[in-house]
Amino acid sequence: MERSNGTQLSEFLLLGFSEDPALQPLIFDLFLTMYLVTVAGNLLIILAILSDPHLHTPMYFFLSNLSLVDICFTSTTVPKMLVNLQMQSKAISYAGCITQMFFFMLFAEMDNFILAVMAYDRFVAICHPLHYMVIMNPQLCVQLVLVCWSISVLHALLHSLLVLQLSFCVPLEIPHFFCELNQVIHSACSDTFLNNVVMYFTVTLLGGGPLAGILYSYSKIVSSICAISSDQGKNKAFSTCASHLSVVCLFYCTGLAVYFSYPITQNPQSNARASVMYTVVTPMLNPFIYSLRNEDIKRALKRSLGEKS
């Protein structure tokens, strides 16, 4: 194979899920449907929160940010895949691949941080209810989101710049439906030791840190709930956390399963299919999880849709 550095490489080939032409229309219809449901569902959540003054609280402020990030997260991968399926092409330009990889890491990390911030919000609300509005004041909420964005941008930029230093063999085939960092690094012809060290270090630090914070927050929440004497109080406290905990489990379990299974299975197409769970399915299910278990969101949605009609 011919060796080429990153600046001369013109395009990558995304192999996707299957090369069977008969399956392409089915894959297109399935992902188009999931993408439209994801965008519509998360936009409705944002609309409901913005239109209802009763939902202008820290919890729903973070939820609206999560919905916005989920729309962007899915939009970094699915539209390009749909275009390639429609045009019967597998190509993505070198610049397009690096750009897609940057924004994918950015929004994946934002999802990670926002879930951790939401866990902290629930921790303060249940463990320190009398001081909740003092601690979770608007300034702190905005600052937390800005810090999340800043760290996520720096994290994505670091990996993108390191990938730009790699050399690749042409033609370059990526056995995935998008330019995923791990796959791109393993496709390089040059030495990737530094990339791998930085990747695993940042995954441990920026992935494990928020996860540890979530686990700590919920350990304190569970202790506080168990200390509540009345069953009604316990149910009310648990109901405020159930939706968020469901989303946390769905996001982390599917994401960690993909990354920890890769060195074991060494089956890229299986990992591509598994990646659908946290890149497409989880953002699609989030609006349903939050709206089905949240009476405030239901009422706000009914009012918003009623005004539209």
Classify burial at 266, counting beta carbons within 10 Å of its beta carbon; exposed 0-12, middle 13-18, buried 19 or more. exposed
User: Mind listing the domains of the chain with CATH numbers?
Assistant: 2-308 (1.20.1070.10)
Cα maximum dimension of the chain: 71
Residue listed under structure tokens 């940010």: 65
Residue 194 dihedral angles phi and psi, to the nearest 5°: -60, -40
Look at residue 244 in the predicted model and tell me its pLDDT.
80
Look at residue 183 in the predicted model and tell me its pLDDT.
87
Look at residue 260 in the predicted model and tell me its pLDDT.
65
Q: How far is CA 59 from CA 90, 141, 155, 219, 220, in A?
A: 41, 9, 26, 19, 18
Q: What is the mean pLDDT of each run of 10 residues along the chain (309 residues)?
A: 52 82 88 96 92 91 95 96 91 94 96 95 91 95 97 97 89 86 89 93 91 92 82 72 82 74 59 81 88 77 66
Look at residue 293 in the predicted model and tell me its pLDDT.
67
> Within 13 Å of residue 162, how many CA atoms lie on the same side as its CB?
19
